[in-house]
Amino acid sequence: GLKRHGASFELDPCIPAAWPEYSIVWRFGRTGYDISVSNPEHRCRGIAEAELDGHPVDPAAIPLVDDGVTHRVRVVVGEQAPSTPTTARRRTAARA
The secondary structure of residue 81, as a DSSP letter, is: P
For 44, the domain range is 2-95
* One pLDDT digit (tens) per residue for the chain, 96 residues: 899 999 999 999 999 999 999 999 999 999 999 999 999 999 999 999 999 999 999 999 999 999 999 999 999 999 875 655 444 444 444 444
The secondary structure of residue 15, as a DSSP letter, is: -
Where residue 76 sits, what CATH number does that domain have? Answer: 2.60.420.10
Q: Total structural domains in the chain?
A: 1
pTM of the predicted model over 0.85? no
Q: What is the pLDDT of residue 89?
A: 47
Q: Are strands 70-77 and 31-38 parallel, antiparallel or unpaired?
A: parallel
